[in-house]
Amino acid sequence: MPYSTISYTTKDHVAAITLNRPEAGNRLNLELAQELAEVCRRINRDEAVYVVILSGAGDKAFCEGGEVEKSVKFCSAAVAAIEKPVIAAINGDALGPGLELALSCDIRLAADKARLGFPEVAKGLIPAEGGTQRLPRIVGRGKALEMILTAETITASEALEIGLVSKIVPRKELLAEAEALARDIAAKGPIAIRFIKEAVNKGLDLTLEQGLRLEADLYFLLHTTADRTEGITAFLEKRKPKFKGE
């Protein structure tokens, strides 16, 4: 299916979504929101996709914001609902709704010149789709409040220091780095990959006891899969496993 505001490709169990409005700073609008939501549903239906990379077209912006408030919520919710791990390759500025989109991903890599921030309060607004909730879970309450209340824009180096991104890469090397990480993850058991994401993300909203129970349930479910048998067999035979997601 052709898309107008995003590009979508798949290769070797890795899907790549690129926000494709570079002339507009890859800002979110209603058309992009609808296409992004459709491709996210498509990814969840596609058993051949194990890992996803989300990035922006061009050299300047990952996503500089949104044009319609409804579309902003649509986008972040769609990405957060992807059941497979999502890597944000933040190739440029991620501001306001753009940063919320990055926060909806599971792992964040940033180009060395990228800037990140929530400018909403300077306009009398607050982050509208998870910024006030996801940011403190990642960087801590104090730093999150400082960033949001001051509308501070931080550099990629500062984002790395506070744990907002896990790695900084020169812009020209960013996608290659994200692809290498995605391939490394995709080489593992796809069912285990999904279960790990579920255990970690859901566990953050549970008590430790509840989280341990969820982890145990998922662990025992894995024992019923062919992939678990293949993993053990490959280990004993000293070869690479051939997982099928079954």
Go through 72-87 and write b for each residue having 16 or more CB atoms within 10 A of its CB, e for each that does not.
Answer: bbbbbbbbbebebbbb
Instruction: Check: CB of residue 76 under 8 Å from CB of residue 148.
Output: no
Q: Tell me which of 35, 64, 120, 179 is the catalytic residue.
A: 120
| 244 closest CA partner among 190, 187, 195, 185 | 190
- Which of 100, 129, 179, 215 is catalytic? The answer is 100
CB 159 within 8 A of CB 136: no
Q: Bridge partners of 169?
A: 111
Strand partners, 111: 169
Decide: 110 and 116 in contact? Cβ < 8 Å. yes
Annotated catalytic residue 152 = no
Known catalytic residue at 35: no
The strand order across the sheet containing 86-90 reads 6-11, 14-19, 51-56, 86-90, 107-111, 167-169
Active site residues: 100, 120
